[in-house]
Structures are given as C-alpha cells and as structure tokens.
Copies of this chain bind each other. A is one copy, B any other.
Amino acid sequence: MKRFEKVTIIGVGLIGGSIGLGIKKKGLAEEVVGVFRRSSTLKRALKCRAIDNGTLSMEEGVKGADLIIIATPVSLIPSMAGEAMRYAKKGALITDVGSTKKWIVSRIEPMGGLFVGSHPMAGSEHAGVEFARPDLLQGSPCIVTKTTKTDSGTLAAIVDFWKALGARTSVLSPEAHDRSVALISHLPHIVAFSLAGAVPAKELPYAAEGFKDTTRVAMSDPELWADIFLSNRREISKSIDVFERYLNSLKKAIMNNKHKQVVKLLEKAKAVRDSIEY
C-alpha cells in the first residue's frame, strides 16, 4: 500500500482512535492528525497516542491531508464531510466509518470529492479513545460501498487501506450493506437492548453468564445507537420481522409441547452459530 503523508481522523473515539493507533503501528502514514469538538477529548486522544497532533479547527486539521476519515456518530457524518471538503486539498481521499450507508452516502456523494463509504465492523460496548487498540480491526469484516458514481481508484485505495489494518473487506452497494447489516449487526443490538430492558430489576441477582453474554451490547452508547437505528429504520423493521417469525415458531412449538419441532429449531440455530466459531 502507498504510504500517506498525512491522515486526518475526524472524531477520535474507540473506532477513530483504534484506526489512528493501527496506522501508526503499521507505519501507514507520516502523520496522523485528529479533529475534535472538545479540547478534553483532544487531550485524551493525545495521551493515548492515538494521534500525533490534534486540533479543534477543521481547516487546520484537514489541510494537506491525503486521506480523511470521518469517525463521528452517524448523524454528524454528512455535515462533517461537507465541512472537511471545503478545506481539503484536491485529490484528498475521504471515507467514513458509519454503521449505515445509504443515508450517509446519498448525502455525501452529491457534494463531489473522492468519497467512498466504509463500515469497519469492529467495536465493542465500550465508548471512548481509552478503549482504542491498534489491532481492533484485525480479522474484522469491513464493508466498503460502491455506487455508479464511485471512482474506481478511490475505491481501490480505500479497500487497500482497510486491508492494511487487517480487516476482511467486502464491496457492496449502500443498499445491500444496509440490508445485511440490519440483520447481522443492528438486529442483535435491538434484541439485546430489548432483552435487558424487559427483564425486571428484581430478577438481576439471578443473572448468570447466558444473560450477560446475550445482553452485553446493551451497554453500548444509547445516543450512538439511536442514530444508527433511525438512519436504517426501514431495513431494521424488516429484520425485526424476520426475527419475530423465528421466535414465534419456537414459542408455538414450545407451547404445543412439540419436542421434535423444538429440537429442530434449536439445532438449526446452533448450526448457524457453530459455523462462525473459528
């Protein structure tokens, strides 16, 4: 991969910070600069060495950058892209890390600029640059989006960049991304939040590992996830329907005391889950 002179990360939390640490560890750029809204988070990112330099000024931050990565919450990504493009040099590559893509890509593409959308599917229930680690993306899926307007050189460079950080990249349309991710990522979050929310507090002393695992992602940031859910609500609604059909088949089989049918439904689920246990 071509080494960048300057990479700018807008929003340096868990994901942005991990990207910064990864770039530095792998030597993918001369300089990593962070753009912040608050000086407190700037200081925290510097302390974690996730960036070489930080600034509160978008103009200063993106000036001369070869690659700009927008890692803010989803709802801010289009406006951040617009602001960054005002100050970016000609030929600067721009990408983001947002968990929904149609909403974001359809807003940024008309602005012009060498933009492709990305979604590195890494992270955890923890938020903040303190949890960042250079290998967060190692072995994780990363979807890069392609539309009829996508510049093929930009696409190739962004794919190479994520690969250099260790991600397993796939190229999908924003629509295909949103359909897949509604099922494999947004739905598990919806289900985990609903499960944690539904269980009465008086039962919590009996919580064992099963409850903890199944609800772990319900510790994620509510504002961040509200953003994601609302920006992909059509596909999420469909994915909830898919889930409820399975849940109701299982419930019906249990209620009707159909042992074989219950076993069959559980076996199908186990086979799916076993297949990704590598």
> A residues touching B (Cβ–Cβ < 8 Å)?
121-124, 140-141, 143, 168, 170, 180-181, 183-185, 187-201, 203-220, 222-223, 225-226, 229-230, 233, 236-237, 240, 242-247, 250-251, 254-255, 257, 259, 262-263, 265-270, 272-277
Contact = CB atoms under 8 A, between A and B. Distances in A.
Contact of A219 (B168, B193, B273): B273
Given A198-B242, A216-B273, 6 more contacts: A143-B206, A185-B206, A189-B214, A192-B210, A198-B247, A201-B272
Contacts of A190: 247, 250-251
B185 A273 contact: no
How many copies the complex holds: the figure is: 2
A206 B226 contact: no
Contact of A187 (B195, B255, B262): B195
B170 A246 contact: no
A199 B183 contact: yes
Given A219-B270, A262-B229, A267-B222, A184 B199 contact: yes
Contacts of A274: 219
A194 B250 contact: yes
Given A199-B183, A205-B141, A240 B230 contact: no
Nearest to A75: B259
A220 B194 CA distance: 22
B269 A208 contact: no
Nearest to A198: B246
Given A191-B191, A222-B263, A246-B198, A217 B210 contact: yes
